[in-house]
Every structure is written in structure tokens, then in C-alpha cells.
Structure 1
Amino acid sequence: MLSILCSKKIWLIVSTSFLFTAPAFAGWEVQWIDKFDGDGVNWDNWTAQTKANYNNEVQCYTDDDFSDARNYDVSDGTLKIIARKKTQNCATLGGQQKTWTSGRLNSKDKQEFQYGRIESRIRFHNLEAGSWPAFWLLENRIAQQPNKGDNDFSHWPSAGSGEIDVWEWFSNQPSSYITNFFNTSGCGSEYRYTYPNGAQDVLDWHSYAMEWSVNKIDFFIDEHLVVSQDLRSCTQYQEPMFALLNVAMGGMLGGVIDPNLQQVTMEVDYIAHCKVTSINDEQYCNESTSVADDSSDDTGGDTSTPSNAGSSAGSSSIWMMISLLLMNTWRRRDGFSGRKG
């Protein structure tokens, strides 16, 4: 006979002879965060992906974070990725003529993640037609810049190069944003979240997040669950991924660009990766979340399941079963709670 009493701790009674106290529900701890506190891009975290040329887009991506016409501006505690109207022959694309410059950062080979929560706080500054900003992930064996030759020979969206979009917005359909999957394993599906106040909401700060475990991926805006995707039969997304932040112009989703548009800006407050830990009960993954140290009690592996440090081997399996049943309720928060302004 098993009885359960829920409060700040869960007491489990197995028959009449075995009593133990399970730990409080686990929280998050930061494994990596970029707060954009400096005066330029931290190239230890990022690569400017200057050789990207996809979807009939019209921008030339640069690594410029220093000139008067820079495409990356790190100042006042945020990153601004700025797309600028400028016709030029793009040297990194073999001299192709492009009509805009812009920025695309990825963390490949520098900051990569497997499971946990990946979150960024973002606002976009423009509603004019033609822009296509995104916060997304790719599997780390994709054959894209930077190419180290470390088995990164897979081509999108095959195994090793699948894509997950956490926030993808385009100004020609501005009242919603996309979460989506691209892979060859039939995993996940597109879901479009409609902003409560329509297009105007994209101009405000929002925290966009993805919680990733072996069996599912949940997407959030400001701690509000947007959609949950079942990965139990998925053969991809079982290896590290890296983050991307970019602003594309025109192309398949950007569409026709407003002829009067000269500049658009995507502003990023922070981007963070967190894992579940048993040493705190922090519910968020942001600039205020505790940062892991080498001695922290990190769960590792499938971070959807809180760890149960200190309990016996016999009780551990029971606690794992109970935590799996409850994990979808203890951490779900309704409504918006992201910072604004």
C-alpha cells in the first residue's frame, strides 16, 4: 500500500515498515548564460555565421560589432542585432549582390546543450513588413560554419542536423509566432502562438523558453505553457544542440519588404541554459537564477526528472516514479510573469 501526502515535501509510506522523506521539488540552476554586459559580442560564446544563404533571403550576414554601420551592438546590458538596408556584393557569399546587411550568431562548438531549459528574453523593435527574426536551435553535427571537422558533416534536417524553433516571428503575419521542428524522423510539429494583444506584443519584452527532455519538449512564453510536443518515438534530438539568434530579411517568410524600411532591430536581454538541480527550488532560468559550480548536485542526463540525492537505492525508484507523475504540475505556472520595460 502506498500513500502520498503533498506539501513542501512529499512523505512516502511503503506498507507499514518503510518511511522516508523525499527532497523538496527540484529547481533550476544556470549552466551557461550570456547577459550581454560588455561592450561587444563575446566571441568565446558566439560565431558570426557569415556564410549563411538560405530561403531566398536578401541579407548579407556580417561579423561587424564595431563600425558605425555595425550589425551587432552590445550596450546597456543588451545585444542588438541590427539589419540595415545596404546594397553590396557580399564577400562571404562569393560576391552575390545583397540589398541588406544583418547579423546571425550561433554557439556551435562553443556553447552546446543537451536537455534542460533554454531561454532568452527578447523584444523586436519594428512592425514594418519584410523582417524575420528568430531564436532557435540546431543539432551540433550540421555541416555549417564553424566547420571543425568533428563529425559535423550532416546536412539539414537529417540526424545530427535537425532544427527546433523556439521563437520565429515574421512581420507579414505579425500577430503570432511559430514554434516548430524540422527533422527526418517525423518528430514534433508546427504550433503558432497568437499574442493576446496582437502584433503590438512583439515590441514588448517576453521570455521565450524551451524545456527539453528525452520524452518531450515544452515551449513557454513568460512561464505560460504554449504547447507540449511528444518525443517518445523520436530518433532525433538525442544529442547536443546549439543556439542561434538572427534577423533575416525577405525570403520565404519575411516576404516583401516595406520599401521605406531602412533598419530593424532585435534586442536580446540574455540567453541561458539551465539544468534541474536538487539543491534549490528556483522556478526560473534567467539572470537571477543560481549559477552551477563544479561541486553542485547536478542531475545530468534527462533533466526532466528531479534528482533524489540522499535517499536509499530502494526508495529512489519510487521517488522517480512519483516525480514523473507530478513533474507536469509542480512547475506549470499560468499567465504572464515576464519582466516588461
Structure 2
Amino acid sequence: MNDLQRPGWTLVWHDEFDGDGLDRTKWDFDLGNGFFDYRVHQWVPGWGNEELQYYTGDPENVQVRDSCVFLRAVKAPLHGCGYTSARLKTKARDGRVLFAKQYGRVEFRARVPWGKGLWPALWMLPVDDKYGGWAASGEIDLMEIVGEKPEEVLSSIHFGSSFPRRTLVTKTHPLPAGSLVSDWHVYAVEWEPGEIRFFVDEALTCTHRHWWSCSRLENGLGVEAAGEADLNPWPAPFDQPFYLLMNVAVGGNFPGVPNAATVFPAELVVDHVRVYDKAGGYGPATPRGPGTMPWEPGHEQERRS
């Protein structure tokens, strides 16, 4: 086991995957190929992204060995899907919270699979949709990749209004020459009131201090905030507890579909997950700067669909 201490931070939760199986007091599985959207009263296949995998909790898709957890996307038909895979999370399917954190440092040490049509991710979601459905209550993505680009890593925050009017800000970080996502890297976020910082191998890749949250709906769907009165109090939505997720999706509207060169099984290997509190606690929220709202002059955000 590596040294768990970190200057300026206090370890509050971790998994080193040292046993012979997944610790079910820490992790549960998402299962299937979609979810029921109660706002519109219909089943949403492909997890809303036209994904092709069926998530299971089977040993073929989740293995713990060599002090690592292996999340494996396999080319195998199941329940009408062409692939099986795994998505682990620290919130149980029955709603129990196994672990969640409001502010702190979260890090994953991982080797990431790549290839056309692969969409591995290490990320966080809010325990409760306090400010509304996705993404009015936020999402934090420590790591995801465009499947056929193993030399770069994406980190993102999702916020704004509920679907379909959410906002996304993404930073693309090129890895050092000669390094690929299939090598070991540490992906981390340091999250404080009013500020979110992303890191790859201790290198600061970006800092975010500008976001917003709007709960207003029309016909059950989110609408773009039209003014300050539409916003939830700063620093919403990133002022609530979030839980952890890790998964390997296949296909979908982001990476496209696999091709003949895509290698299966595709394994996301995670050596550890560690969560820290800031020594001495957290101060007041960093003020939100001007020129960051969608209705203000000078509003600019890097976005991807």
C-alpha cells in the first residue's frame, strides 16, 4: 500500500482494493442499459447517451485482484445489447448513501483503456437533486477520454439548468510526450467553496470559479436562466454532497461506435480511490466573477456536446 498521507490534507475515506472481492459496504453497481425518467414518464435507453453496453455486477465485468479493481467492457450480447460492462458507485441502488463528500480532494490512480467507441470515466454526481434534474444540481468529471485519443485527458463540470438547457465546461489536457492514458496516472479534483481545481499527476490542469444553477422549468424541462433572479444562491450547485462513480461505457453520442481496431475486453484498472479533507477546514466561497453568466457581455465558456 502506498503512503496515504498528504501534506495539508487529512484522509477521510479510501479503498485500496486489497481484498479478494469488491467491498460492498463502499460500492454498489448500476445495472442495465438505461433508466426511467419520472419527469416525462418514460424509459430512457442507452443511459440517455445512446450507449451500447449493459452494466452488470458479474465477475466477467468486475474483478478485484493484485490490489486493483478491474472494470471490464466485454464484447458479448446481453438483453439486446452488444456489450457488457460495469459502473460502480458509492450510492446504492436503493438510495442508501455509502459515501459522499461536500468539498475536499478526491483522487483515483488508474490505467485507462482506449480505442474507438470507448468512454471510460471517473466522476461525481450529487446525492440529491436539490436544485433540479441533471445538470441543474451539477456533475464533476475528473477523467474521461475520447476513445481514440489516448494522449489526452478531459475534465469537466456540468451545471446550469435542467436538461435540455444544461451547460458544460471541458478542459482538454495533453499528457506528456510518450505517455498514454493506458499508463498509470493519478486523476484528482480539489473542491472548495466557489473553486474547483483539476489535476493529472500533481499537475494543475485547470481551475473553475464560474458556474451557476437555475431551477426554473417550463413544461417540466429546464430553461436558460434569464437573469440573476433565476439563479440559486452561489456557489450552487457545487455546495452539496456528491458521491463517486467509475465506469467504462461503450459507444454513445460522445465517442461514437467501436470499430474493428477496438480491443475487447477493455479494462479500466483502478489502484486506489482516496478522499481527503482540507486541514483547517474551508473558508467562505470565492466570489463569482463578472462576465460569466449567459446573459452578460463577455460570457465565454468552452463547451462540447
CA drift at 1:166: 0.6
- Normalising by structure 2, we get a TM-score of 0.71
CA drift at 1:301: 4.9
Counterpart Cα distance in 1 of 2:69 and 2:132: 30
Which of 152, 176, 193 is equivalent to 2:173?
193
2:184 maps to: 205
The 5 A counterparts of 1:56-205 are 56-65=50-59, 70-89=60-79, 97-108=80-91, 109-124=97-112, 126-142=113-129, 154-159=132-137, 162-184=138-160, 189-197=169-177, 200-205=179-184
CA drift at 1:304: 9.3
After superposition, the C-alpha distances for 1:260-288 in whole angstroms (9 at most, x for unaligned) are: 533100000000110122xxxxxxxxxxx
Counterpart Cα distance in 1 of 2:283 and 2:180: 34
Counterpart Cα distance in 2 of 1:259 and 1:56: 20
CA drift at 1:178: 1.1
Name the amino acid aligned to 1:56. Answer: E
2:272 maps to: 270
Which of 25, 31, 34 is equivalent to 1:50?
31
Paired residue secondary structure (2:123):
strand
Asked whether the 8 Å contact 1:130–1:255 carries over to 2, the reply is: yes
Alignment CA distance shift 1:30-1:238 (3 Å): same
Counterpart Cα distance in 1 of 2:150 and 2:71: 19
Asked whether the 8 Å contact 2:120–2:145 carries over to 1, the reply is: yes
Alignment CA distance shift 1:300-1:115 (3 Å): same
- Aligned pair count reads 236
Name the amino acid aligned to 1:36. Answer: F
Task: Say what the alpha-carbon RMSD is for the aligned residues.
Answer: 2.5
Name the amino acid aligned to 1:58. Answer: L
- Report the structure, 1 or 2, having the larger helix content: 1
The 5 A counterparts of 1:219-258 are 219-231=198-210, 233-258=234-259
Counterpart Cα distance in 1 of 2:157 and 2:141: 6
- Normalising by structure 1, we get a TM-score of 0.64
CA drift at 1:213: 0.4
Name the amino acid aligned to 1:72. Answer: V
Extract unaligned runs of 5+ from structure 2: 1-6, 35-46, 92-96, 212-233, 287-305
Farther-moved stretch of structure 1 (244-253 vs 166-175)? 166-175
Is 2:9 the counterpart of 1:33? Answer: no
Name the amino acid aligned to 2:187. Answer: Y
Counterpart Cα distance in 2 of 1:35 and 1:303: 33
Name the amino acid aligned to 2:115. Answer: E
Larger of the two Rg values belongs to structure: 1
Counterpart Cα distance in 2 of 1:238 and 1:84: 37
Asked whether the 8 Å contact 1:46–1:105 carries over to 2, the reply is: yes
CA drift at 1:182: 1.2
Name the amino acid aligned to 2:134. Answer: W
Counterpart Cα distance in 2 of 1:302 and 1:113: 16
